[in-house]
Amino acid sequence: MEKRNIIVLGASSGGFDAIKQVISGLPPNLEAAIFIVWHMSPETTGILPDVLNKLGSMPAANATDFEEIKMGRIYIAPPDRHLLLESNFIRVTKGPKENRFRPAVDPLFRSAAYTFGERVIGVVLSGALDDGTSGLWIIKERGGIAIVQDPKEATVSDMPFNALREVKIDHILPVAQIGPMLAKLSSVQVNEVKSGNDEENKRTEMELHIALQDQDYEHPFFNLEKLSPFTCPECSGVLGVIKEGNRIRYRCHTGHAYSSDSLLAALTEKTEDTLWETVREMQETVMLLNHLGDHFAENNQPHEAALYFQKAKEALQRSREVRAMLPAHENTSMSEIESVETKAKTNKLAGH
């Protein structure tokens, strides 16, 4: 039997300080391997290893592709790369974005659950939207342990709140208590793997091959999932619907994946971009019409010039009407739509 010694941790907005607090609460001799995904810009230098190494807890470094997994180490997803786990080593890939991020939390959690089953402890910290919820659900399905930072103390509560709403969480803790809890749980002996059902296994295997950019694996994605009426905001591909318990998410045939929350956020952001693009195109039309009007006026063709100037005036009015829509448009997400009362009810169910 193995110990529960595979710890996967995900965070986004507000998660930098939370990660530091968790790691500083660990004993330096912890016999576990820790894998971290923290959302960051692709252009950002991976500073997290240096910051964590200064804490004097466990050695930390950006993970490298095909690196061997060793206990007592912290592995961090490099900027613009997914972090995945296989039986004895790590994969670092530039697979399709998930929930609009690379690295994303869900691919790490999913690969850990699929490979190590009951040995996995999943931790969701501060962050916006709900990356990590799907992966935490699979961790629980395969016998692992699920921990979330108490949403009431998280800098951005969406990620822990959504995980709490959708997944049966084992421990809801202030961030200062998560490190000691990990030390306690990692000493427990468990079975290697708790397999899912056949359908879940096929889907999980397919999604891991997509994240790994396995060109030799032909994934019959749409044979496993139903098609939705929605298109991928990233590439305009058709989105298939994936059901996990009572929740749904989406993946296109090129590989991009979205939770319902991240899809809603992406679509509303794209709407704003489209409105601005429409305003630009209409303004260019106005400029071209006026330019043609000037051309006719210079050539002593006042009637034609007046026609083009009138059309430019009409186009300008239409562009102003479209531009007036922009202040009323709002980028939104399910998390923003959720009422304070609903969140309060969920916290009450959790014992708060």
Of the residues 12, 57, 157, 319, only one is catalytic, namely 12
Is 219 part of the annotated catalytic residue set?
no
| Rounded Cα gap, residues 247 and 250, in angstroms | 11
Half-sphere exposure (Cβ direction) of 335: Cα atoms closer than 13 Å: 22
* Order of strands, sheet of 171-173, starting from the edge strand that comes earlier in the sequence: 60-62, 73-76, 33-38, 6-11, 120-124, 145-149, 171-173
* Order of strands, sheet of 257-259, starting from the edge strand that comes earlier in the sequence: 226-231, 238-244, 247-252, 257-259
Of the residues 39, 82, 219, 256, only one is catalytic, namely 39
Of the residues 82, 106, 111, 131, only one is catalytic, namely 131
Is 171 part of the annotated catalytic residue set?
no
Half-sphere exposure (Cβ direction) of 243: Cα atoms closer than 13 Å: 8
Is 82 part of the annotated catalytic residue set?
no
Render 264-323 in DSSP notation, one character per residue.
Answer: HHHHHHHHHHHHHHHHHHHHHHHHHHHHHHHHHHHTT-HHHHHHHHHHHHHHHHHHHHHH
| DSSP-derived 3-state class of residue 249 | strand
List the one residue out of 208, 212, 248 whose CA is nearest residue 227.
248
Which residues are catalytic, by number?
12, 39, 131
